[in-house]
Amino acid sequence: VLLSSLLLAPAFADRGSPSTNHSCSPSNISHQRQKRDWIWNQMHIKEEIDAPLPHHVGKITSSIRNENAKYIIEGEYANTIFKVQETSGDVYAFERLDREKKAEYELTALIIDKRNNQSLEPPSKFIIKVYDINDNVPVFVQKVFNGSVPEMSPVGTSVTKVTAVDADDPTVTGHATVTYQVIKGDEHFTVDDSGVISTTRGDLDREHQSTYEIVVKAKDAPGASGDSSTATVIITLTDINDNSPEFKQSSFHFKVPENISVGGEVGRVKVEDIDEPQHRNTKYSFVRGDYRDTFEIVANPYTNEGIIRPKKPLDFEKVAEYRFDIEATDPTVDLRYFKASSPRSISTVTIEVIDVDEPPVFTNLPYEFKVRENDAEVRTLGSVWAHDPDAAKRKIRFSRRRASPSGDYVRVSDTGIIQLPRPLDREYSSSYNITVAAQEILEDGRISDRESHAQVHVIVSDENDNAPELVSPEEPRVCENAVPGKVVIRISATDKDELSPRGFFKFSLATEDSNFSLIENYDNTANITVKYGQFNRELAKIHYLPVIISDNGDPELSSTNTLVISVCKCNEKGNFTFCEERAKQVGVSIQALVAIFICIFTIIVIVLLFLLRKRHKKDPGGLGRNVAEIHEQLVTYDEEGGGEMDTTSYDVSVLNSVRKNGIKQEEVPSPYAQVQKPPGNMASGAGEMEMMIEVKKDEADNDRDLLPYDTLHIYGYEGAESIAESLSSLGSGSSDSDIDYDFLNDWGPRFKMLAELYGVEPHEDLVY
């Protein structure tokens, strides 16, 4: 119908536009415009035409009558898909069109003069519409759909929705209308025309079948005709709590030692609940047996097992076996689906208690004793008692484990008697606690390693054995110009004993001969006030005021405390301007004194050891020698010659040969004191030698560390005019030297031996 109808479309004329250009010959120039119109049929074409190409679309015409006129079209698809016949204006399609790809095409029609390509009419746009045919099958938006529904849902409960799309023109009746049908699984589910899938049965049980796979078909024409496609829908049944738990076995048997702790695990009973874990809420209860006060059954929230725990200690000697019935239920089961015919789930539990060697058991707990402090007559407070709970009934030995405060204040004997080794002091501690251990004595006399403990508390009652003490919050000061009645300080007292119930502390002054008075406040405090006023700082800058404090106890105790009051200078407003600094008492603790004494003792020991070692070094090993043991030795040091302790000996002839040949001896570091040589141009003689000997003698006399040997140091420097050829005693007997060595007798005991050697007559025989 659309193809056969022709609609005339008015051509676009360029009327009233002075800028419009028209191509015409000079002979046809006229001052009046001719009316020209575009004329063509409305263009439509079917998609997918099954006929040879090209396919005629329509025709464009114009009212211009010009033999040189030519039709052309322009646009995106002009001269490719669509072409126009130049002279007739017929438009052809050179490809099969698909409406689902493109439903319409917009082109522009022109008529020109083919001689100069000048436009004879303004261009005009037109549209070619593609007519739809039912050539597409409905397609599901996905191949597989998923849905879920609670089990046991009523009929008609919505599960999920499927969707199929048809690419044909929806404005054409029957071309894009999609209908659905369940072709597999229709005994459990159905689908409506909108694609909603719902249940057709109300007894879908997840425990019987948890998932369903159905196939849905979609077609685009009513009735049996029309193209179609299919999709798979997987439906899952979600769980509801519609099943009760059941025991897996009819009885359970457990063995447990009698010393199991309260709340410990005896065993576990297992049930089976076919619902999902989130719907397993098993409750265990006793139905037969009188032991619900002895045991409890607690459900494990993760495994749904029943854990049996004792609520009180078990005793093999009293009950060796427990037997009772338990039932498993689920209080959260949905009653709408509860099966009344289901049997109760009951199982029998047997618990066998195993005998173990238990530690002793204390009786008559708790243990608390009271004693007055400083009571020397009380030595025994009482006793503790424990027994062997086993059938062996062994004897018990008691011992002390811990004490608070630590120390040997409270003892316990092997038989459990609580004793006091000495009186207790409440001011040190108001209570004394010990831990007593009880152990069994085995048949062979050994002590069992299993023990039990009990706490023993000793409460010490107070007696009035401490006098009150003064409490001064600050150093008292008073102005030298204070007026009578001026409060100097408020004092209070403290007592290590308990406060007497008969009243407060009493305060008084030890003497009335002072410029101070005491006024009680009857609240355990008192005020020290100025009695006469006007203190004289020239006479006393510090006053010592004795204060007596009694405690009203039984017996009444008192103490005298000295209150040190400073007299200060004050300004007109009564503010202190100058006070002498009190000499602060410096105390040293016992620990510090012990440390000081230890340090002093250590220093004394070190000094004594050092002196003994030094004395040992100075002990002369050769002072006991007689004259016959003396050797003459010459040692090759810087100083020539040495004492009897020298070890390297030379013959005198060797020394003389060295001197005469002018050979200089090798310099060796000397352990002896050295003397600076006199300058070389000074005159040599006996005076220089005497001077050197005097120096060495002084050094020997003043050096307490040297051994008392007669030693003459002969230095390498001997002046050219020296008259002493040699001082060696080897040739002393025949020497013709005129030097008198009698002066050696004046040098003291150290040179006594040398004086005897050089002071004898030339013909006197010497005995060595």
Question: Computed from CA positions of residues 265, 277, 279, 202, in that sequence, does the dihedral angle turn out positive or negative?
Answer: negative
Tokens describing residue 722:
């020296």
Q: Under CATH, to which class is 42-131 assigned?
A: mainly beta
Q: Which residues contact 331 (CB under 8 A, 6 or more apart)?
A: 281, 283
How would you classify residue 271: left for phi > 0, otherwise alpha for psi between -120 and 50, otherwise beta? beta
User: pTM above 0.75?
Assistant: no
Q: In the predicted model, is pLDDT for residue 554 greater than 80? A: no
Task: Supply the pLDDT for residue 265.
Answer: 94
Each residue's pLDDT tens digit, 174-211: 677 788 889 999 999 999 988 999 999 988 988 889 99
Output the CA angle 660-662-668, nearest 5 degrees. Answer: 115
Task: Supply the pLDDT for residue 391.
Answer: 79
> CA-CA distance, 448 to 440, in Å (whole number)?
5
- Top pLDDT among 387 and 626 is at 387
- Top pLDDT among 627 and 500 is at 500
Backbone φ and ψ of 171, nearest 5°: -80, -10
Task: Supply the pLDDT for residue 760.
Answer: 56
CATH 2.60.40.60 domain position(s) in the chain: 42-131, 139-238, 246-354, 361-461, 469-578
Question: Computed from CA positions of residues 663, 669, 675, 680, in that sequence, does the dihedral angle turn out positive or negative?
Answer: positive
Sort strands 367-372 and 576-578 into parallel, antiparallel or unpaired.
unpaired
DSSP 477-493: EEETTPPTT-EEEEEEE
The number of beta carbons lying within 10 Å of the beta carbon of residue 729 is: 17
Each residue's pLDDT tens digit, 482-516: 889 999 899 888 888 877 666 678 889 988 888 89
Pick the CATH number of 246-354 from 2.60.40.60, 2.120.10.90, 3.40.50.11030, 3.20.20.70: 2.60.40.60
Return the exposure string of 223-241: e unless at least 16 CB atoms fall within 10 Å of the residue's CB, then b.
Answer: eeebebbebbbebebebbb
Each residue's pLDDT tens digit, 509-527: 988 888 899 998 888 889 9
Residue 541 near residue 534, CB atoms below 8 Å = no
Output the CA angle 151-276-238, nearest 5 degrees. Answer: 25
Task: Supply the pLDDT for residue 768.
Answer: 37
Question: Computed from CA positions of residues 331, 334, 335, 341, in that sequence, does the dihedral angle turn out positive or negative?
Answer: negative
CATH 3.40.50.720 fits 361-461, yes or no: no
pLDDT band at 589 (very low <50, low <70, confident <90, very high): low
- Top pLDDT among 3 and 616 is at 616
> CA-CA distance, 139 to 231, in Å (whole number)?
9
CATH 3.30.1240.10 fits 139-238, yes or no: no
Each residue's pLDDT tens digit, 340-373: 667 789 999 999 999 888 889 998 888 999 998 8
Of the listed ranges 72-81, 257-266, 438-447, the one predicted with least confidence: 72-81
Q: Considering the domain delimited by 469-578, tell me its CATH architecture.
A: Sandwich (2.60)
User: Using omega within 30 degrees of 0 as the cis cutoff, is the peptide bond preceding 749 cis?
Assistant: no
Task: Supply the pLDDT for residue 668.
Answer: 43
Nearest by Cα to 396 from 362, 367, 360: 360
Task: Supply the pLDDT for residue 737.
Answer: 56
For the CA atoms of 389, 395, 397, 398, the dihedral, rounded to the nearest 10 degrees, stands at: 40
- DSSP for residue 578: E
Nearest by Cα to 25 from 81, 85, 68: 68
3-state secondary structure of 741: helix
Nearest by Cα to 348 from 288, 389, 268: 288
pLDDT band at 27 (very low <50, low <70, confident <90, very high): very low
Residue 272 near residue 228, CB atoms below 8 Å = no
Q: Which residues contact 430 (CB under 8 A, 6 or more apart)?
A: 459, 460, 462
Residue 130 near residue 1, CB atoms below 8 Å = no
> CA-CA distance, 244 to 338, in Å (whole number)?
8
| Single-letter amino acid code for the residue at 114 | K
Return mean pLDDT, the chain: 77
Average pLDDT rounded to a whole number, residues 605-617: 84
Average pLDDT rounded to a whole number, residues 520-537: 88
